[in-house]
A and B are shown apart, each in its own frame.
Chain A
Amino acid sequence: MTSASASPPTAQFRVAVSTPASLGLAAVGLLLLVGLVALPSVAERDLIQDLSFVFYMLALAQCWNLLAGYAGLVSVGQQAFVGLGGYLLFALTIFGNLDPLLAIVLAGVVAGLFAIPTGLVVFRFRGAYFAIGSWVVAEVYRLVFAQIKQLGGGTGTSLPPSVSNGVAGIDWVKTLFDVRAPAARDIITYWAALALAAGTLAVVYLLLRSRRGLALAAIRDQEATAESVGINTVRTKLAVYVLVAAMTGMIGALIYLQKARISPDSAFAVLDWTAYVILIVVIGGIGTIEGPVVGVIVFYLLQRYLADYGTWYLILLGAIAIAVMLFAPQGIWGSLQGRFRLALFPTQRRLERADVSGDRT
């Protein structure tokens, strides 16, 4: 009989997701997270506030990216859930006397519940019709909330300082960092924003690495084929839509806890909560988890340093939107990734050759 060593080396393949860079960066990421949590002990308030803005815009961008970049649902109506979350925060704290942090979580749950019937309506539409249809639905939300007189109708209403300064743990933070109530409130909302940003990032990442993630990619690339290999496309998309709505609702609640004033026109603003979010995702790179992170940093820097130029700033923003789409449709991260095969949050399955030389006993 022939010995095992005589048989030709057979190639075996395994599916890999992690990259060497990603494993090393997981450790760095954990350190970064710890550092960011501890940041209020050394940072000034302006930095804390700016980072809160960065985090909640990042969370929104991550949500929209999951929807459009992975599930292929290009929605122009995510402001519906930002506004819904914001209004729920006001209703739950003013009339329900709940703690604002608890109200944020509840707002997410309720927004998710609202997303089920909403999804059933907008899922009748496809492609461009879905984009416009979701926008119309968001307008319906705005016009309905404008009629709720208890929440100020079209005028809007303000969160009383007793609520916004009565967040759980505020006294603890005040003594821990030796700051006044407004600064302590900022630190708590900063942590909440950080938690939401990290949370959405983790949810999106884990989802995409799961079987559901594979199904999503299949739907995005070729819906009919996905259906034919046994993926329930409607259920998968609806699940993503509801999940994103719940996360978006929580972010909306947090945003309006910080703003302390809500009105239908601001809460359901397509420009602030969807158009700029789309811009962030596209600048960074749609369909990658790293893209929104890059995009939000660029957007923040633009706004921070140029917003005082008024009309010229907005013209520049418009020009950037056009330029990115024309010259780097993959976004900044997408272009870098294409060139250097980078992936901090790898979700792609790669076939790797695992050479087995002979001995197979």
Chain B
Amino acid sequence: MTRSGQRNSIDRRSLLKFSAASGAVLATGMRAPAIAQSRAVKLGYVSPVTGPLAAFAEADNFILANFKEATKGGIKLGNATVPVEVVVKDSQSNPNRAAEVAKDLIVQDKIDLMLVASTPETTNPVSTQCEIEEVPCVSTVAPWQPWFIGRQANPGGGPPAWTGFNYTYHFFWGLEDVIAVFTNMWGQLPTNKSVGGLFPNDGDGNAWGDKQVGFPPVLEKLGYKLTDPGRYQNLTDNFSAQINAFKGANCEILTGVVLPPDFTTFWKQALQQGYKPKAASIGKAILFPVAIEALGRDGNNLSSEVWWSPSHPFKSSLTDVSAKDLAGAYESATKKQWTQPIGFVHALFEVAVDVLKRTPQRGDAKATVKAIAETNLDTIVGHVQWNGAGVPPFAAKNVTKTPLVGGQWRLKDGNKYDIVIVDNRTAPIIPTAGKMEPIG
């Protein structure tokens, strides 16, 4: 602790009260309330509850209710049992706001550990604040490259210029995994190995299309020919330039990381223009069942990476439920189809509780960071341990990866879709339920 807590000091609340009462602005002699020994452990959680990314946070209330239920008796820290408190803040899908609420959580709520999920637009500003404020932070649901490289001072600088972080840790998968999954799926079909790439000019798109760490170098090595017309702006209304380029290069495979409305625009326009690839493996756009349903009957056999599903053979370290039961509980509680972020948001809180339990020195950032680094936990999304496995040396300290497989959306009775896992060569532990089929 710094001396600031013991000095004569005024905090915001007492100041507001005071100014309301007397109209004065300066006051001395007030003390911040003394920190009681039995205070709760505080977790801060930032997620996009409102705004365009809100679909990612749809399961938050369900997960938080589960979490509160599981920790209602408090958690054991050393010999004491202390209550856990989660302070949730809405980023409004706005990076400015995300940075602001992160600061609030750190300075005002004095959280012990920050948790953040869902797209680089949320994770990056929050992680950046935590790094500066020297507050431990665990993040997920963003491929590690946009999270790690996107936060470098010079993202184009390459490994020697990129440095690791001291307070911020991330678990998810990386581009190398999604590339492996996609190419494995394409390998199941006879194609001309000509690939069209749709990459927007945003955190994900720039990482996927990057000439050093993205799709281009790997595809070239595997004998694929990539047609990349260039970065486009999100919420574009016309994709004829890209469609013509893909038609011209006879791309039998389509890939990219696209916003849901943009993919609908593209896919409908492509079909109108007579461009229909044999395989289309798209990130982000067809993550949620509602987004694939929006395509009507034209979504059948579109493929995507699968980071979590009810058939993942994992269970929660916190509540002991299996992936299948968690998804089932969500569906019966909300009457909505399960989505992939459910598992990861749940896992984020699993990691948090595990870390806290191993940090008896509550509020000590260095000790908490040490506990994060020493995590060795089987969660509902797989094993989480920052041991550098499968991660290049420059990011090995801060990044750990969970398994990734490939799936295809299959139309079933009427307008509903199910995702079927069709390739598990990247993670054989997760069972497949079918084979890759061409779009037809």
A-side residues, CB < 8 A to B, are: 32, 35-36, 39, 42-47, 49-50, 53, 94, 143, 146-147, 149-150, 152-161, 163-165, 177-180, 182-183, 185, 259-261, 263, 265-266, 269, 271-272, 304, 307-308, 310-311, 314
Contact = CB atoms under 8 A, between A and B. Distances in A.
A46 B12 CA distance: 7
Interface in B249-285: none
B153 A178 contact: no
Interface in B172-226: 200-203, 205-207
A315 B293 CA distance: 30
A265 B4 contact: no
Contacts of A260: 99, 128-129, 132
Contacts of A159: 128, 153
A314 B11 contact: no
Contact of B128 (A36, A163, A261, A308): A261
Contact of B4 (A49, A178, A266): A178
A182 B128 contact: no
B90 A308 contact: yes
B132 A182 contact: yes
B201 A42 contact: no
Contacts of B92: 314
Interface string B1-40: 0111001111110010000000001101000100000000
B94 to A, nearest CB: 7
A214 B10 CA distance: 43
Contacts of A271: 94
A150 B155 CA distance: 8
Interface of B: 2-4, 7-12, 15, 25-26, 28, 32, 49-50, 89-90, 92, 94-97, 99-100, 103-104, 107-108, 120-121, 124-125, 128-129, 131-134, 146, 150-156, 163, 200-203, 205-207, 231, 233
Given A43-B9, A154-B206, A157-B151, 11 more contacts: A44-B4, A44-B10, A47-B11, A49-B103, A146-B233, A154-B231, A156-B150, A158-B124, A180-B2, A261-B95, A304-B12
B231 A50 contact: no
Given A44-B9, A311-B50, A152 B4 contact: no
Given A32-B25, A314-B50, A45 B4 contact: yes
B95 A263 contact: yes
A69 B66 CA distance: 52
9 closest cross-chain pairs (CB), A and B: A154-B201, A266-B95, A160-B153, A44-B11, A158-B151, A46-B108, A261-B128, A155-B203, A266-B96
A50 B132 CA distance: 18
20 contacts: A36-B25, A42-B9, A43-B11, A46-B104, A46-B107, A152-B150, A154-B200, A154-B203, A154-B205, A158-B150, A158-B152, A159-B153, A164-B132, A182-B132, A182-B133, A260-B99, A260-B128, A261-B129, A261-B151, A266-B125
A261 B202 contact: no
B128 A158 contact: yes
Contacts of B49: 310
Contacts of B32: 44
A314 B90 CA distance: 12
A153 B203 CA distance: 9
B302 to A, nearest CB: 25
Contacts of A94: 153-154
Contacts of B202: 154-155
A164 B161 CA distance: 18
Given A143-B233, A261-B125, A263-B95, A310 B50 contact: yes
